[in-house]
Amino acid sequence: MQNKTLIIAGMHRSGTSLITQWLYRCGLHVGENLLGSGIGNDDGHYEDIVFYDFQRKLLTNKNIHDSGFTAECVPRLDPEEKKALKNIINRKNSLFEEWGWKDPRTCLFLRDYQELIPNAFYLVVFRDWRSTVSSMISRTYKVEYAGNEIIKKGWFVEFRKKRAYQKRIRKLCSDHASFFLRIWIFYNKEILDSIERVSKEHYTVINYNLLLKSDKAVFTQLKNYWKFALDYVNFKEIYKPGLLSKELNISKFVNRELIEEAHRLQNMLEKRSVFDSSEIQSPA
């Protein structure tokens, strides 16, 4: 029996952790050891430590920050790196007939993965650029001001806290919004380019914001058409709307050209996305 591999591809802060948690609950093997909870992911990242560590090391070796926060093309793997990655893949295949993984950094190496796992299936997850950049700003706020009470004493405490919070958010937007949007654009360009190189029967694109009403369509794709041995779990069982960060007004902090490019890419992704079970592709 040929191994089945699912690559869950999506930009940082696009809901890939939650979707991978859902697939894990449905029975997909997504790693022997998974990255635990952290700032911005209270329920865990659901990232396979093997791929997480390996891809961070790859980026460091290429003088790129191991977060994967880049808007520049990453050099292809050299022969030694490719051999090491092939060994990881071979080990997974020897242990599991069906498996997959999620790590946003994967989007930076999709050409190499397509060469090494030519029959892989791709679940592409995207989130609108405003919500994604807002989430990245909110997470940066939590990192920079974790455990730091804005005001401990004084009159009108809540009012003053709110004012201080808004000031800090504006500063973070001014400092980071354009860069974060460039990252969103770059990652989703890489994703769109990658799915152009594979058969239409081997990828499905899902808008994260629509998964609540289209989870059955996505499950049907994996179960009935791609033949993954899964058991359906309602996405609502793990979805926690209270954990979503508030959308920020970031448009005034980025130039019009970036926004127009983001709109163009978002429209392209939406045209390829699965909305409900009636629109899901038929098996080949």
User: What count of Cα atoms within 13 Å lies in the side-chain half-sphere of residue 48?
Assistant: 22
Q: Is residue 161 part of a domain?
A: no
Q: What are phi and psi of 122, to 5 degrees?
A: -125, 120
Q: Is residue 144 part of a domain?
A: no
Handedness of CA 123, 109, 32, 94 (dihedral sign): positive
Query: Residue 196 is encoded by which pair of tokens?
Result: 């152009």
Q: Is residue 168 part of a domain?
A: no
- DSSP letters, the chain, are ---EEEEEEE-TTSSHHHHHHHHHHHT----SSB---BTTBTT----BHHHHHHHHHHHHHTTS-TT---SSPPPPPPHHHHHHHHHHHHHHHHH-SEEEEE-GGGGGGHHHHHHH-TT-EEEEEE--HHHHHHHHHHHHHHHHTTT--S--SSTTHHHHHHHHHHHHHHHHHHHHHHHHHHHHHHHHHHHHHHHHTS-GGGEEEEEGGGHHHHHHHHHHIIIIIS--------GGGT--GGGSPPPP--GGGS-HHHHHHHHHHHHHHHHHB--SGGGSPPP-
What contacts 228, CB < 8 A, 6 or more positions away?
4, 6, 28, 98, 222
Residue 101 identity? W
Q: Is residue 107 part of a domain?
A: yes
Q: Is residue 198 part of a domain?
A: yes
Distance CA 216, CA 232 (A): 8
pLDDT at 153: 52
Number of domains in the chain: 1
Range of the domain at 101: 4-129+187-244+266-279
Asked if pLDDT for residue 152 goes beyond 60, the answer is no
- Reported as a single tens digit per residue, the pLDDT across 22-55 is 999 999 999 988 875 444 444 556 899 999 999 9
Asked if pLDDT for residue 21 goes beyond 50, the answer is yes
Q: Is residue 261 part of a domain?
A: no
Q: Is residue 52 part of a domain?
A: yes
- Reported as a single tens digit per residue, the pLDDT across 226-283 is 999 999 999 988 887 655 667 899 999 999 999 999 999 999 999 998 754 344 443 3
Q: Are 45 and 17 in contact (CB under 8 A)?
A: yes
Where residue 151 falls among pLDDT bands split at 50, 70, 90?
Answer: very low
Q: Is residue 251 part of a domain?
A: no
Q: Are 116 and 82 in contact (CB under 8 A)?
A: yes
Average pLDDT for the chain:
88
Asked if pLDDT for residue 20 goes beyond 60, the answer is yes
Residue 246 identity? K
CATH of the domain at 80: 3.40.50
pLDDT at 113: 97
Query: Residue 165 is encoded by which pair of tokens?
Result: 């919070």
Please compute the mean of the pLDDT values over residues 5-24 and round it to a whole number.
94
Where residue 62 falls among pLDDT bands split at 50, 70, 90?
Answer: very high
Distance CA 235, CA 173 (A): 32
